[in-house]
Amino acid sequence: MYAFYGRIKSFFSNSSVLKTLIVKNYKSRYANTALGVLWAVLTPLLISFIVYFVFSHITQVSEKNFIAYVISGMLPWLCFAASVQEGAGSLTDNAGLWRQFRVPLEFMPASCVAVNFLNLALGLAVAQVFLLRFSPKGIFLFLLLPVPLALHFFFTLGGALIFSSLSVRRKDTAYFLNVFLLFWLWASPVFYFRDRFPAAIQRIFDFNIICPFLNLYRSIYYENTIFNAKDLFAAGCLAFASFLCGYYFFIKREDELKKAL
């Protein structure tokens, strides 16, 4: 336990290495592109807009401020899905880095998650402007964004750590994740309203562990209110549990991973 605690401590104390990895990741991602970092913002916004258009103009959803609803759901979801998928392949993609520099293995998935969350933060900041949330309340709520972001981050990191360690030995993990995430997307109120569904389905949503995080983002961008305590508490517990379990799982398999790499 002490060793585990020490590892977590070193995770935070070696932040410079993580930072370097993040920078490297960022640079690599957007090198040789014309729009560069702008894609970090454009991609999720465009996807959100497409969804909004489809639902509002084709399926005729008439809710007020529907775009805000979609944005506040799509951006976090896309970030989560991308983090988990990229994190899953990060160990095998960066094996050389680990061999040459003995970078802590967990930093590989962590850097992928971190990059995506940075993009999310950027996207949400742009959304703030896009949604014209210039009122003092809107700005105050915007300043609360780091809370859901941090909780969401650790939650995602836990998942990325688990799947990254699984996919070293089992390549099937990547294919499984593709399908699973797609299912989870549709099983989550990302771009549709939960109260449109029968009560029984709504209860399933209550057990969807992504919902509390979505609710936190929605409260800022859609409901324009401060967080719901229940959602906050649930998100906090889920983040904590996910991170710890994910890290523990990862460390336990670390030796095997190193040999496999």
Partner 1 sequence: MENEIALQIRDVSERYGIDFLINGKVTHEEITAVDKVSFTVKKGECVAMLGANGAGKSTILKLIAGIIKPDAGDVRVEGRVASILDLGAGFDPQLTGRENIFLLAKFYGIAREEIQPKMDQVIAFSGIGKFIDAPLKCYSSGMYVRLAFSLAIHVEPDIILIDDCLAVGDEAFQKKCIEKIFELKNQGKTIIFVTHDAHLVSVLARRGIFVKDGRILHDGPIERAIVCYTQMVGDINGIGILNKDNLSVIFNNGKIYINWRNAPLSKGFGGFAVIRTGQGELFSKDLSWRVELEGMDSLMARATDAEAKVIQAWSLKLAEDNCIDWQIDTAAGAQEKEYFSRINLMLNERFTHWSTLGKEGVFPSQYPSVREWQVLDAQEPDTDGGGIISCRSESPDEAALPGVVLESAKKDDFLVARALITGPEQSARVLSLEAMPATKGNRFSGRIRLFENNQELASYLSFRKAKFIQEHTIQKLGTKLFFDRGRLRLFYKESELTKANCFFGALYAKDRWFSSFDAAWSFKKQDEQTILVSAYWPELKARHAWQVSLVDQFRISWKVVLETEDDLEVLSCRNGIYLSTGYKDWFSSYEEGVFPGEFQWQDMVLENPLRKSVGVKKSGLYPGVALETRESGVNNTVAIQNSDSHYQSRIIYAAAVLPRAVEGFNCPAGRREIFSGVIQLYPSAELVEKYLEVSQKEKLDKELSLQARAIETHTIQKGPIKIIFDAASLRIFYNELEISEGRGIRSVFDVHKINKQLNSDFALWQVDKVSLNRMKCVLRWVDIASISQEWDISIEDNRIDLLLTMTSYDNTDIFNERTGLLLSRNYKQWVTASGEEGEVNYDFSERSKGVALKNNKAGRMHVREFIQQGTVYPAASFSSFLDRQEQVVSLTVDKDNGLGLYFFKVKPREAASKTPGTYVYFKGSVIFKEPEPADKDPEDHLSGHIINLPGLKALDLRFDNGAIKLFWGKKEITKGLGFYTSFCCAGLWHDSSQAIWKKNKICAQSLEVTGTWAWIPVIQSWRIKTEGKKIILDIETEVYREFYLESEEVNLFLTDEYRKWFAGKRRGPFYNEFSQSDLFRFRIWISRVADERMGVEARLFRLPAVSLRPQSIARDAYLVIENANILRDKGRLIQYMRLPDREQALIRPCHYNSFKGVIEVGRI
34 vs 229, which CB is nearer to partner 1?
Answer: 34
Is there binding between residue 103 and partner 1 (CB under 8 A)?
Answer: yes
92 vs 228, which CB is nearer to partner 1?
Answer: 92
Residue 131 backbone phi and psi in degrees, to 5: -90, 5
Query: 39-78 mask for partner 1 (x: CB under 8 A)?
Result: ----------------------------------------
Is there binding between residue 3 and partner 1 (CB under 8 A)?
Answer: no
Burial pattern 171-205, b for ≥16 Cβ within 10 A else e, equals eebeeebeeeeeebbeebbbbbebeeeeeeeeeeb
| Nearest by Cα to 68 from 122, 119, 131 | 131
Residue 116 backbone phi and psi in degrees, to 5: -65, -35
Is there binding between residue 101 and partner 1 (CB under 8 A)?
Answer: yes
CA distance 128 to 95: 38
Tell me, by CB under 8 A, how many residues bind partner 1. Answer: 22
Contacts 24+ apart (CB under 8 A), 140-149: 141/219, 141/220, 141/224, 141/225, 141/226, 142/220, 144/220, 144/226, 144/227, 145/121, 145/220, 147/216, 147/227, 147/232, 148/76, 148/213, 148/216, 148/217, 148/220, 148/227, 148/235, 149/117, 149/120, 149/121
Give the binding range for partner 1 (CB under 8 A) out of 45-53, 63-71, 98-106, 126-134. 98-106
Q: How far is the CB of 97 from partner 1 (least distance, A)?
A: 4
Among 97, 127, 162, 220, binds partner 1 (CB under 8 A): 97
Is there binding between residue 171 and partner 1 (CB under 8 A)?
Answer: no
CA distance 45 to 55: 15
Give the binding range for partner 1 (CB under 8 A) out of 34-42, 56-64, 182-190, 253-261. 253-261
**Cβ atoms within 10 Å, residue 140:** 11
Query: 13-32 mask for partner 1 (x: CB under 8 A)?
Result: ---xx--x--xx--xx--xx
23 vs 38, which CB is nearer to partner 1?
Answer: 23
Among 3, 136, 199, 255, binds partner 1 (CB under 8 A): 255
35 vs 201, which CB is nearer to partner 1?
Answer: 35
Q: How far is the CB of 208 from partner 1 (least distance, A)?
A: 37
| Contact set with partner 1 (CB under 8 A) | 16-17, 20, 23-24, 27-28, 31-32, 94-103, 255, 258-259
